[in-house]
Structure 1
Amino acid sequence: MSDRAEFLIDLSALSTNIARLKKECGVDVLAVVKADAYGHGLIRVSHAALKAGASWLGVALLEEAITLRENGVEAPILAWLVSPGSDFDSAITHNIDIGVSSIKGLREISESAKRAGKKARIHIEVDTGMSRGGFLDEWKDLPTEDFSQVDVIGIFSHFARADEPGEQQNIDQIQRFQQMVQELGDIGINPPIKHLANSAATMKDSPSYFTMVRVGIAMYGLTPDLTHLGTSKDLGLRPVGQLRAKLHLVKSVPAHSPVGYGASAMTQSDTKLGVVAIGYADGIPRIAQGAGVFFKGKKAPIIGRVSMDQFVVDLGSDSTAQSGDWVIVFGDGSHGEYTADDWGRASSSINYEIVTRIGPRVPRIYQSHEY
């Protein structure tokens, strides 16, 4: 337990979310654990996700995948943001599947495989309309390339607007993906795994399932999009993480007292202020206004600017809070506390950013002993 702040992770909630999503989609689930499992802790979350029914793990970076292998993960792992010049030798040695989106990358992987005397496992990423990752202009040149040193395990792409169900672009991307799968088959490459769906599509777009879905934000119990899909509760998801921190100091201040750097805020009446022992160095957005903390059934909003290691909240004149008490920064909202969605709105951002930016100074505390 920390004496300042901690991120409490409920692995039973994670298990419930994954099991439910897998049952509903009826295909293999790749659990996305990139960015330290969206801030929830790479190793513990990965083992829990596999035990809950995920068949694959997905990361962005090769070093994340190697860390998983070094910590006993034997399940298939896909690393998809592996640029030319990366340590493909290590990827092959550790039996890590590599996302490929350029001919240069394919050639470098093939060279590494030849040196290793072992075929590399790759997933071909295709651009179906997001204009981000994936083959597009080089797609026409792919049939001339040498695939003798690789096993093409999968083909995949990524939705741009899956969190907006019914958008024509989603339909267009599915059709383009099917077309590119067929074009790959026309040159004799038929990967057994085809994946396009992210969390939003997994919950709202069954034609996009193919043979596997990639579940990220939803497995952590958070909505992929508050505006179009509703809250976690609306989607039947259980938020996995609760961030809490200690009140470093509670003190009474008079009305019209300036608060924080730049005196950007002023107390409107006599009140009690609480100094929360966590700040932007820990991932609390500096620009956040309109969120705060929760203590004994009452919200206490931020007042003034967030500092590097602390921020101030207005507890109210009648608060019973004392220096050293714990407060909830965000949780699942079931008791009236702020949620990651609330913090996202307060920061002109989204819940993804709120959880992934929680810094390493905040220990992750796992509450389930099942894993």
Structure 2
Amino acid sequence: MTVTHRTHSLTSTQRDAWVEINLSALERNFKKLQELIKTKIMAVVKADAYGHGAATLCPILQRLGVDSFGVATIDEGIALRQAGIKIPIVILGATPLWAYESCFSNNLTITIYSIEQINQLEELAQKNKFKIPVQLKIDTGMNRLGIDYNECLKTITDLTNSKYLELKGVFTHLSDAKNYDFSKIQKGRFDKACQSMPLLQKHIANTYAAINYSDFRYNLVRTGIGLYGQEFNFLEPLISLKGRITRIQKVLKDEPVSYERTWTAKKDSIIATVPIGYADGIDRKLSNKIFGLYNNKKIQQVGAITMDQTMFDISELKDPKVGDVITLLNNELPVSSWAEILNTISYELICRLKIRLPRVYTRD
């Protein structure tokens, strides 16, 4: 493994705990998806590339030939421009009226999801004498953002004929991609709504749909979680979570560890502490339910996970030392195992890890 560089978190620069991001795995994942899907890819890099660091990952994806990037906010789009991104960036979420000019000055494509937006944008574009790139979002069953699929034909016509708005594409959002029957209903609504626009960029598929439903690919798909190697066995997780042992101590039989005495030693034990806690994104409800790795040997996490520290039973290890590394997440300990315990999704958990943990970028 080669370390390429290290970046700071929002609050920490000097930690004995960190997230490692494998850039070689990113490249392999993109190429695997590209070969499988055989259509253009929009890389979804919301929430700082799901906590992986968009400013580092996006230039690599741009070099590999990704078609465009999807972000949630204007600030995310501007950050990509500042990182040297030249290809289209689409703001998939809501854009406030007062921020439109920032979109224009940074060449960001705005998503249209209401008639009011069209009027506002046309007025501003006419005033400033420039044409604004937009994409139209159609609501086919997500019931969040978008113009209703039954009411969008006139909107499509107005956008197509607009002197000031340049319609670049049209898309919708699957509410339950793993449910093929309802996804098919949404696709039917989408096809009916945009049947008069055969040449426009169309996209409906997230990573799951892009991989599993070939007829959902159109001429563009949106891949997010797949690029980061989560939730699909043929892809490689980019992320590992590691910390160095800060203290090793003997705990006698029947003595508790950590708050609320949720774990008690059944025999004299050796306990290691690492400086990672729930403030770093490790949910407290994982206490006593997860494992770490020490030199490829699995060890049990014990006691309540605290704000800044987590403890492991290392009684069976040979000669562990303060400063040695314990791994909490990697290919053998996937974040999906945490998600299953917590009854949530991997997306949520990997996004949490960016708050305080520095990122170390590597290549294998």
Does TM, normalized by the shorter one, top 0.5? yes
The structural deviation recorded for 1:67 is 0.9
How many Å separate the matches in 1 of 2:343 and 2:47? 21
Are 1:362 and 2:360 counterparts? no
The structural deviation recorded for 1:144 is 8.5
SS at match of 1:218: coil
Aligned to 2:139: 127
Work out which structure has the larger RCO, using CA pairs closer than 8 Å and 6 or more positions apart in sequence.
2
Structure 2 counterpart of 1:176, from 181, 189, 214: 189
How many Å separate the matches in 1 of 2:319 and 2:204? 51
Within 5 Å, give how 1:186-225 maps onto structure 2. Answer: 192-223=200-231
The structural deviation recorded for 1:267 is 2.1
Within 5 Å, give how 1:194-273 maps onto structure 2. Answer: 194-223=202-231, 232-233=232-233, 236-273=234-271
2:152 touches 2:193 (CA, 8 Å); kept in 1? no
Deviations 1:160-190 (A, max 9, x none): 22234xx2101111111101112xx3xxx66
1:84 touches 1:104 (CA, 8 Å); kept in 2? no
How many Å separate the matches in 1 of 2:151 and 2:17? 49
1:127 touches 1:157 (CA, 8 Å); kept in 2? yes
| 1:202–1:140 Cα change, 3 Å | closer
- Gaps spanning 5+ residues in structure 1: where? 224-231
| 1:324–1:103 Cα change, 3 Å | same
Letter paired with 2:227: M
SS at match of 1:220: coil
SS at match of 1:18: helix
How many Å separate the matches in 2 of 1:168 and 1:270? 56
- Gaps spanning 5+ residues in structure 2: where? 1-5, 7-13
How many Å separate the matches in 2 of 1:297 and 1:23? 33
CA RMSD of aligned residues (A): 2.1
Aligned to 1:347: 342
SS at match of 2:95: coil
The structural deviation recorded for 1:342 is 1.5
How many Å separate the matches in 2 of 1:143 and 1:57? 23
Letter paired with 1:155: V
1:62 touches 1:82 (CA, 8 Å); kept in 2? no
How many Å separate the matches in 2 of 1:173 and 1:157? 8
Are 1:27 and 2:39 counterparts? yes
Are 1:8 and 2:15 counterparts? no
How many Å separate the matches in 1 of 2:151 and 2:193? 13
2:73 touches 2:95 (CA, 8 Å); kept in 1? no
The structural deviation recorded for 1:140 is 6.9
Using the TM superposition, name which of 60-69 and 135-144 deviates more. Answer: 135-144
| 1:326–1:141 Cα change, 3 Å | same
TM-score where L is the length of structure 1: 0.88
1:154 touches 1:194 (CA, 8 Å); kept in 2? yes
Letter paired with 1:273: I
Aligned to 1:227: none
Letter paired with 1:19: K
TM-score where L is the length of structure 2: 0.89
1:197 touches 1:209 (CA, 8 Å); kept in 2? yes
2:110 touches 2:133 (CA, 8 Å); kept in 1? yes
How many Å separate the matches in 1 of 2:218 and 2:187? 10
